[in-house]
Structure 1
Amino acid sequence: MKKALLLLSLVAAPALAGEGKWTPQQVLDLDPAWLRAQGLQVSPRKLWDPKRGTGLLAGAVNVGGCTGAFISSTGLVITNHHCAFGVIQEHSTPQRDLITQGFLASERKDELPGKGARVQVPRSFTDVTAQVLAAVPQGADDLVRYKAIERKQKELVAECEKRPATRCQVSTFDGGVNYTLVDAVELVDVRLVYAPPRAVGEYGGEEDNWMWPRHTGDFAIVRAYTAPDGASAPYSEKNVPFKAEFFFPLATEGVKPGDFVMVLGYPGRTYRALLAEEMAERQSRLYPRMRDVFGEAIRILEEEGDKDPAGKIAVASTVKSLHNVHKNAGGQLAGLKRGKLVEKQHQSEADVAAWAGKNSAKWASALTARDALLAEQKANTKVFEREFLLGSTPRLARGPALAVTLSRLAAERAKPDLERRPEYMEREQARIKDRLEREQKNVFLPAEKRLLMAYVRRAQALGADERIAAVDKHFGKVFVEKDVAAKVDALYAVTQVLTLSERMKMATETVAQLEARKDPMLAFGADLARELEALDDVGDRRQGMSLRLRPDWRKAVLAHAGKPVAPDANGTLRVTFAKVQGYSPRDGAVYTPQTTLTGMLAKHTGEEPFDVPERVSKVAESKRYGAWADKKLKDVPVNFLADADTTGGNSGSPTVNGKGQLVGVNFDRVWENVANDFGYNPDVARNVNVDVRYVLWMLDQVENADTLLRELGVRKGPPVAGETR
């Protein structure tokens, strides 16, 4: 009976009002007394000092689509295993398979540099709304509006990036209500220090992905380096570890149920500000199509990869990415239905509209804007299938995708920099070349050919008004498997796009030079590029329309709320406040918020995805817990839950306690919480974290990484100079 009451208390504990991915500036608008009552022990101004434009939050860094956190003053950054996977894959071969075996640098000189790996450390946030809106000419149509705003954003970024090693962006909040200039220092020498074996970092695989209970060690450690004078610099043996002003010491005592935590990071995109009908379109069309198209790509890649060890390594990163997107789409569908989120959004809109209607003189434009947005949304559904497939080209066929990049790169380079599309400006050239080089590691021809076959088959099945002209031109209008297969084979037999040395030459050539090569893959890519460019223009017009209308509606929504409202995630630094707690996923089921080594061993089958590496299982089975066992659990905690408001991009986010110490690393959400992107539900809003004590147990009891532990400050004695082990 006591045990049952305890389990219920873990679920029914008073919930923190966890909804909200708060910007650094908004933290100072929250009630300090409320934050202290929740468990924050440091001053909000220590989290963010508006005078300096920095603070403890700056210890959370952007690591390219994921988040990381400084955990030492010597440049050590902890993130997720899956966020460092590209570097791990880069240095893996069938003979030295770091993906499977893991990696620990014995000395700093052994740390592995990652091509294109970067760490961005936030430096300041500046409101530039007035400058951006003033750039729009009077009477501008939607396309001109968008281009004017984009031009001003580029100009602000260019001015900001005059400082060396600086990476800036102008981010849009609340659909265009506000614009903020984000300034960060960019470190470009990032090296792998430690990665656990894949069977630890991905324990449970896709079967456990988005699920609870979890027993996954999804963490890795990298180190950022600078030149000896502290300036950001490319890889060099003379470089030294970055001196981090803000970092999160490791909380060796970990967490317990009910504890206050904060998750800091760079959540990518959420959609809570969409209109109900816009949400409904995603539910009825986008996510089902993603499940269909990406599911087929996964099957092809896995079938071909299983035939060849080198091929399995080559497709590993793509498979991992697609699996995540594919399963996420399923979770969005299940969550939208479970939470009746579209219906709730309809009601919310109706409430705002009724409120605004009582003061129509002030809010008439808001109601007009909503009606216009709805009309545009309905019109866009007519061309959905073509636009989805054409826009998915980069995920579905690497050869054509690379050819598209090369073609658009050449065409955009011929324009003045400020007239180029943002992704092809001079500031992006190094990233593009890194990606063109890095992609070689992902090329596996048998899989490539089958992926292109599947892409062509889908394109040739489109209706008469939705044709992809490039496919019709190069492969015909009707799918005849034998004929298309012959054309695909011929395409790959002669192209040099997939030859690294030639591709890097192509990256510097003009449109005329590329055409002179008479490479059929380049020709196909050039035709696709023209259609993608036209699609971009359509998207720009739609964005211009949204930037004209949505702010009026959002201002009414915010005014109706009558309290601070965190804006949708947009890839900028945020913090969410939470409590460690379990939940009830369905009738009759209660989940506690912690898992342990014992639970991990109980799942062990000796086969993927539940195959605990022998060197890990031996230590766990002998109960060599060291200093990392939880006193109440009498076991080493592996993962824990909290009710933080997270989404994609929060992967690798530091989970810290009220003192600002690291207690875990965020890496996932539970299945019932995937549709959190559309609405926060406190009953099931749970994020999944690696417990810091599992990290320390791996480093201590399994890896014997004594010097690294001393560098992290959890073991007495200074680290040996030049060593990490």
Structure 2
Amino acid sequence: MNMLKFVSSLGLVAVLASASAARADEGMWTFDNFPSAKVEATYGVKIDKAWLDRVQAASVRLSTGCSASLVSKEGLVLTNHHCVVDCAQALSTAKTDFVKDGFVIATRAEERKCPGMQAEVLTSITDLTDQINAATKGLSGAAFVKARNAAVAAAESAACAKDDKARCQVVSLYRGGQFKLYKYRKYADVRLAFAPEFATAFFGGDPDNFNFPRFNLDVAFVRLYEGGKPVKSPAHLTWRSTAPKLDEVTFVSGNPGGTDRMLTVSQLQTQRDLALPVSQLQRSELRGRLIQFSAESPEHKRIATDMLFGLENGFKVYFGRQFALNDPAFMGAKVSAETELRAKVAADPKLSATVGDPWGDIAKVQKVYADNYLRYRQLESAAGGGSDLYWHARELVRAAQERTKPSGERLPEFADARLPLMEKELLDDKPVHPELETLYLGFWLSKTREYLTADDPATKLILGKESPEGLAQRLVSGSKLGDPAVRKALWDGGLAAIQASDDPMIQFVLKTDAPAREIRKTWDAEVAGPTDAAAARVAAARFGVYGDAVYPDATFTLRLSYGKVAGWTYRGVTVPAFTTFAGLYERATGAEPFELAPRWIAAKDKLNPDTVFDFVTTNDIIGGNSGSPVINAKGEILGAAFDGNIHSLGGNYGYDGSINRTVVVSSAAATEALDKVYGQAALVKELTTK
């Protein structure tokens, strides 16, 4: 499908013309402010607190940036294949490729622990808005950021310090309009139970990505363990083995990663003109390097499959965002919506006196943003370019330095409440591939020299007399940080061990981290601090004008969206809501990415060709919702969300219910495949047992 032809943000114009309340099926709603009355009025189904509590208790957040759900009483969790492909890659070797061949086992004893993965179930939400606001009252810039971070760290520690099975996170909602403490029950032992072949989960590859019709079995199962035994999970969703019906009401419970629907016009212009073009240029070049790397040998292809998939997916996502922001009609609608809100504020003297002109304040920050963006990106936010060894080194160095300070005075990611997950991700045994490490690190070093110039003091400090490629090779080949025992010794040894280390990657970070810390300090004081303070006043304006009939931007916290099973019509072409197994075999060509896995060729005559494979709904989702359960009004699982259609790529900034669609792999297809393709009778029995 030609993206330039089919990506359209024009439908968003009607949605954005007024910033009042959410319309149609729009919204990623928090569980403590779900519009049950509106859903009942629209669809005739009643969603009460008991229903919400049940779904919340069965919804799972994965540290891989995905969503999931409990689907049996024995800790079995449904998610997407692409949410566990990193685990399958980590468990694979040159001789055993669980990505290519799938992870299909005979008994539960063969389930394998996913390194670095943690699962979390939300248990409570507590409003801390007044407490956080009191800590930052009257402050600005760096002082504002420091006071807020200290208050957040104190709240998280107070709520979770005495409970080693809990994780606490203070979340900013409405871009500073509210602060709420989310408390989770965490599970650090997550084991892979089933995953299909990559060719089956991602059938159609990049050409079909963000398109429909689709024929993907993008499902996987992990199991939660504690004390070496599967977790007992009576609060789980009911598995439905039959397909959904057209117009059936659907709900998606998951953790959308982030949206920018509440950004001001000046912020969107900065994304359009600076941040998106830079990131896409680098993403595009790195993609080419990975494609070339993958073509060099079968082993290179094996170790780069997951990386290339993620990079291509990201490129398409941000292309859609760029296209939306380049549309004059779309940006015109954003200007109109902002103008309407500002006019309503100006018409209310009391509200106007309270909020002032936060839009003007944010606009002033954009020049400072632009002046510092490249430096901040290259030295801080995107430092290392994806190199695990570099990231390990920087976390070890900074953790050793930060842990000498009181929790509230540290960089926020090193506060006491946040260290356990960092430690787990850092110390779990996960393979490191030196060839890929060298590629990523060398690319970052070369782009840093290009963007900051060879004469910049930071470039000179980083490279010295070496070339980017030569320095990357030296650092990677000499580092022992791929060994988790080495990382653990440095973590436990603290600052003394770090300073005494002769590991070249550790020494490189010690030598070069000062410019990164300096630009972060500048960013917090001159960009993040003023922006966050002003954004909180924009939020106050929204509340003052529209009340709580608006939902917050996504923040990778649990949300619920509502909709129905429905296809769509665009430019005279109607796209049906369902695909079937028969369509899969018709679409197969025998060549990548439309090549069937051997199991599926062998099982063709066993399968019901009319089984619904994938379907689409009007639910409002975004990245991070991958793996989210799609359920009906009875709380039965109809499938797992794994993608959006091409029109949804502008969904970062707005929603159009007439054409935006969520793409779902059906539980009916998963049941049929588990039974007749993979011979997973025990898994099917576990799923379907009442």
Tell me the residue number matched to 2:631: 656
Q: Which amino acid counterpart does residue 521 of structure 1 have in structure 2?
A: M
Does the Cα contact within 8 Å between 1:145 and 1:544 map onto a contact in 2? yes
Deviation at 1:184, TM superposition (A): 1.2
Of 393, 397, 403, the match for 1:413 = 403
Moved more, 275-284 or 320-329: 320-329
Partners of 2:179 and 2:668 in 1: how far apart?
40
Q: Which amino acid counterpart does residue 295 of structure 1 have in structure 2?
A: S
Partners of 2:589 and 2:429 in 1: how far apart?
34
Partners of 2:44 and 2:90 in 1: how far apart?
42
Tell me the residue number matched to 2:37: 31
Tell me the residue number matched to 1:636: 611
Tell me the residue number matched to 1:558: 543
Tell me the residue number matched to 1:312: 301
For the pair 1:683 / 2:668, whether they are aligned, the reply is no
Of 304, 315, 332, the match for 1:326 = 315
Tell me the residue number matched to 1:6: none
Residues 555, 485 of structure 1: alpha-carbon distance in 2 compared, 3 angstrom cutoff: closer
Percent identical among aligned pairs is 26
Residues 469, 637 of structure 1: alpha-carbon distance in 2 compared, 3 angstrom cutoff: farther
Secondary structure of 2:603's aligned partner: helix
Residues 501, 223 of structure 1: alpha-carbon distance in 2 compared, 3 angstrom cutoff: closer
Deviation at 1:125, TM superposition (A): 0.7
Deviation at 1:339, TM superposition (A): 8.3
For the pair 1:402 / 2:392, whether they are aligned, the reply is yes
Partners of 2:552 and 2:383 in 1: how far apart?
31
Residues 216, 262 of structure 1: alpha-carbon distance in 2 compared, 3 angstrom cutoff: same
Partners of 2:308 and 2:515 in 1: how far apart?
27
Residues 514, 331 of structure 1: alpha-carbon distance in 2 compared, 3 angstrom cutoff: same
* 1:28-107 superposed matches below 5 A: 29-31=35-37, 34-35=39-40, 37-40=42-45, 43-48=47-52, 54-64=53-63, 65-107=65-107
Partners of 2:269 and 2:164 in 1: how far apart?
45
Moved more, 573-582 or 373-382: 373-382
Tell me the residue number matched to 2:3: none
Secondary structure of 2:225's aligned partner: strand
For the pair 1:624 / 2:607, whether they are aligned, the reply is yes
Describe the superposition over 1:293-318 as per-residue Cα deviations: whole angstroms up to 9, x where unpaired: 12222222332233233333333333
Partners of 1:496 and 1:578 in 2: how far apart?
51
Secondary structure of 1:507's aligned partner: helix
Does the Cα contact within 8 Å between 1:470 and 1:527 map onto a contact in 2? no
For the pair 1:597 / 2:586, whether they are aligned, the reply is no
Tell me the residue number matched to 2:174: 174
Does the Cα contact within 8 Å between 1:39 and 1:260 map onto a contact in 2? no
Q: Which amino acid counterpart does residue 559 of structure 1 have in structure 2?
A: G
Secondary structure of 1:395's aligned partner: coil
Does the Cα contact within 8 Å between 2:645 and 2:663 map onto a contact in 1? yes
Deviation at 1:365, TM superposition (A): 4.3
Residues 440, 710 of structure 1: alpha-carbon distance in 2 compared, 3 angstrom cutoff: closer
Does the Cα contact within 8 Å between 1:386 and 1:467 map onto a contact in 2? no
Secondary structure of 1:342's aligned partner: helix
* 1:276-287 superposed matches below 5 A: 276-287=265-276
Does the Cα contact within 8 Å between 1:407 and 1:526 map onto a contact in 2? yes
Secondary structure of 2:126's aligned partner: strand
Tell me the residue number matched to 1:392: 382
Q: Which amino acid counterpart does residue 208 of structure 1 have in structure 2?
A: D
Secondary structure of 2:374's aligned partner: helix
* 1:314-713 superposed matches below 5 A: 314-337=303-326, 340-390=329-379, 391-437=381-427, 440-445=430-435, 447-463=436-452, 469-476=457-464, 483-541=467-525, 542-561=527-546, 564-585=549-570, 587-620=571-604, 622=605, 624-625=607-608, 635-713=610-688
Deviation at 1:382, TM superposition (A): 1.8
Does the Cα contact within 8 Å between 2:501 and 2:507 map onto a contact in 1? no
Of 27, 31, 47, the match for 1:20 = 27
Partners of 2:125 and 2:554 in 1: how far apart?
16
Tell me the residue number matched to 1:632: none
Does the Cα contact within 8 Å between 1:370 and 1:553 map onto a contact in 2? yes
Does the Cα contact within 8 Å between 1:335 and 1:672 map onto a contact in 2? no
Partners of 1:577 and 1:419 in 2: how far apart?
41
Residues 170, 280 of structure 1: alpha-carbon distance in 2 compared, 3 angstrom cutoff: same
Does the Cα contact within 8 Å between 2:170 and 2:182 map onto a contact in 1? yes
* 1:246-265 superposed matches below 5 A: 246-265=235-254
Tell me the residue number matched to 2:125: 125
Does the Cα contact within 8 Å between 1:367 and 1:553 map onto a contact in 2? no
Structure 1, unpaired ranges of 5+:
1-10, 49-53, 228-235, 630-634, 717-725
Deviation at 1:468, TM superposition (A): 5.9
TM-score for the superposition, normalised by structure 1: 0.86
Partners of 2:541 and 2:338 in 1: how far apart?
10
Does the Cα contact within 8 Å between 2:140 and 2:533 map onto a contact in 1? no
For the pair 1:188 / 2:185, whether they are aligned, the reply is no
Structure 2, unpaired ranges of 5+:
1-10, 12-21
Partners of 2:678 and 2:306 in 1: how far apart?
25
Residues 707, 659 of structure 1: alpha-carbon distance in 2 compared, 3 angstrom cutoff: same
Partners of 1:681 and 1:439 in 2: how far apart?
44
Residues 526, 325 of structure 1: alpha-carbon distance in 2 compared, 3 angstrom cutoff: farther
Does the Cα contact within 8 Å between 1:263 and 1:655 map onto a contact in 2? yes
Residues 573, 467 of structure 1: alpha-carbon distance in 2 compared, 3 angstrom cutoff: farther
Secondary structure of 2:81's aligned partner: coil
Describe the superposition over 1:680-714 as per-residue Cα deviations: whole angstroms up to 9, x where unpaired: 11222111100111101111111222222111126
Describe the superposition over 1:543-597 as per-residue Cα deviations: whole angstroms up to 9, x where unpaired: 3323322222222223333561111111111100001111234x23221111111
Residues 468, 273 of structure 1: alpha-carbon distance in 2 compared, 3 angstrom cutoff: farther
Residues 497, 705 of structure 1: alpha-carbon distance in 2 compared, 3 angstrom cutoff: closer
TM-score for the superposition, normalised by structure 2: 0.91
Does the Cα contact within 8 Å between 2:389 and 2:505 map onto a contact in 1? yes
Secondary structure of 2:215's aligned partner: coil
Partners of 2:172 and 2:445 in 1: how far apart?
36
Partners of 1:548 and 1:572 in 2: how far apart?
22
Residues 217, 356 of structure 1: alpha-carbon distance in 2 compared, 3 angstrom cutoff: same
Residues 428, 23 of structure 1: alpha-carbon distance in 2 compared, 3 angstrom cutoff: closer
Tell me the residue number matched to 1:295: 284
Partners of 1:214 and 1:431 in 2: how far apart?
35
Tell me the residue number matched to 2:155: 156
Deviation at 1:361, TM superposition (A): 4.1
Does the Cα contact within 8 Å between 1:594 and 1:638 map onto a contact in 2? yes
Secondary structure of 1:213's aligned partner: coil
Secondary structure of 2:36's aligned partner: coil
Does the Cα contact within 8 Å between 1:300 and 1:451 map onto a contact in 2? no
Tell me the residue number matched to 1:3: none
Partners of 1:280 and 1:439 in 2: how far apart?
43
Deviation at 1:323, TM superposition (A): 2.2
Partners of 1:563 and 1:182 in 2: how far apart?
19
Describe the superposition over 1:161-219 as per-residue Cα deviations: whole angstroms up to 9, x where unpaired: 12230111111111211111111111122111111111111111222111222111111
Partners of 2:457 and 2:493 in 1: how far apart?
25
Partners of 2:392 and 2:529 in 1: how far apart?
29
Deviation at 1:388, TM superposition (A): 2.3
Moved more, 519-528 or 378-387: 519-528
Tell me the residue number matched to 2:205: 205
